[in-house]
Amino acid sequence: MRSALLTAVLAGVAVQAAPSPMAARYDHEKRLRFRVDGSFHLSVFSDLHFGEKQGTAEGHKRDEKTITVMNNVLDADPTDLVVLNGDLITGDASTTKNMSGYVDTIVQPMVKRGIWWASTYGNHDSSQNLDPRNILEHETRHPGALTASMAKGKEVGVTNYVLQVYPSNCTHSGKDTKTDRSGKPCVPNMLLWFFDSRGGEWFGRKGKDGKPVPRPNWVDLDVVRWFRKTSVDIRRQHGKVIPSLAFVHIPTNATNFVQGEVRGDDNPGINDETPVSQQAQYWCKDGTWGGKGNAKCRWGEQDVPFIRALSGTEGLMAVFSGHDHGNTWCRRWHEVIDSENIQGNNINLCFGQHTGYGGYGDWVRGGRHIVVTEELLLKFAIDTYIRLETKVAVGRVSLNSTYNRDRYPITKNDKTFL
């Protein structure tokens, strides 16, 4: 009894004396920098859905299994940055107001390994009980959180920001800047854009009927303006186009558009959700909420300005989404969307893999791994595959200029259960 108490006290003291014993593992010098071998590795976890069936044995088991998936995926590959691509928590599945507390559990696999991470929030990360701003607050209490809020505006959501990745030869770092051996500031060789596609319900708002108030499910116009301006500013600052990747939880209508051409051996992956569940779905053109399954308001077109901005961003190699648990492919978008007159510009539109044991569907869990090399960057190409919870890798493709024409093994549509 006494020794147990003593142990507990000592543990408490140890934690107090070194508030973040894991922080030592974070190497700031190497933060968002290509490795000496010229590679940079990202692992994308989508739709973790923590906190479902909160307080029940089943809910507990789901969350435990999700942590195991994350650990298995991270053990299988080198990873420089983890992206949590939305629906970290199922905020609408509980009535308690402390849902953001789950963040402390979610980030453990990264904190333990000293891996940096960056999030986008999804529609389930905002509900009457869950304030997405609280998720950010919880995330940034931990070492390793790079999630930020850069775009300003009344209803822009939270996770709109850009991160810069530096070349392998950039070896010195000051407080917030990196310099090369001669002391000159390093020029980033890749940009990572993160967008908040919002959706779900407004936190703390109640309709006249006492019901939750739906929140628009597309990237806000103020964010599109911020994106265009920041993109131009960075380009001017460095005098060149910097290759980039983008992450947003809910895919756009452009993803729906290219889905019609998806073939298993051109675009390996599961394609069980047709049409794509997309931004502005079930919103009417006049900006009112049509209601789930509404046949008249299947798509309100509010994501068109964002699609235009994506297609107008030179050097944007790929956009990664989650949200549709039953879609895991990538397709290169080069066609013109006639109805909107938007040119595809060879952007790869990709899904990840459902990572969480919360959320609908029994498709085998996993994460999407992305490998960028300084050599491939010169051709605006990247490699990617799905790392399953079983540690097997599937759907290994090269998103290069011949993607959509190269043939790959078809990905098996495997299922796993609780």
Ligand X SMILES: *[C@@H]1O[C@H](CO)[C@@H](O)[C@H](O)[C@H]1NC(C)=O
Contacting residues toward ligand X, per CB under 6 A: 55, 96, 98, 101-102, 167, 169, 180, 189, 253, 256-257, 275, 298-299, 337, 339, 374, 398, 400-402, 406
Looking at beta carbons only, is 233 or 406 nearer to ligand X? 406
Shortest Cβ 281–ligand X spacing (Å): 7
Token pair 């992305």 in the structure block, residue: 370
Looking at beta carbons only, is 77 or 383 nearer to ligand X? 383
Looking at beta carbons only, is 161 or 380 nearer to ligand X? 380
Looking at beta carbons only, is 272 or 406 nearer to ligand X? 406
* Cα 110 → chain centroid: 15
Looking at beta carbons only, is 212 or 243 nearer to ligand X? 243
d(CA 309, CA 305): 6
Shortest Cβ 347–ligand X spacing (Å): 15
- Evaluate whether 22 touches 112 at the Cβ level (below 8 Å): yes
Shortest Cβ 332–ligand X spacing (Å): 11
Residue count (the chain): 418
- Evaluate whether 280 touches 301 at the Cβ level (below 8 Å): yes
d(CA 342, CA 86): 26
- Evaluate whether 203 touches 256 at the Cβ level (below 8 Å): no
Strand ranges in 304-381 using DSSP code E only, listed in sequence order: 316-321, 330-333, 336-337, 342-343, 347-351, 366-373
Looking at beta carbons only, is 407 or 415 nearer to ligand X? 407
Task: List CB contacts of 17: < 8 A, sequence separation 6 or more.
Answer: none
Shortest Cβ 263–ligand X spacing (Å): 16
Shortest Cβ 105–ligand X spacing (Å): 7
Query: Can you count the helices (H) and strands (E) in the chain?
Result: 9, 18
Between β-strands 316-321 and 347-351, what pairing exists: parallel, antiparallel or unpaired? Answer: parallel
Side-chain-side CA neighbours of residue 406 (13 Å):
15
Looking at beta carbons only, is 26 or 121 nearer to ligand X? 121
- In sequence order, the β-bridge partners of residue 166 are 33
Looking at beta carbons only, is 1 or 293 nearer to ligand X? 293
Shortest Cβ 255–ligand X spacing (Å): 9
d(CA 182, CA 141): 34
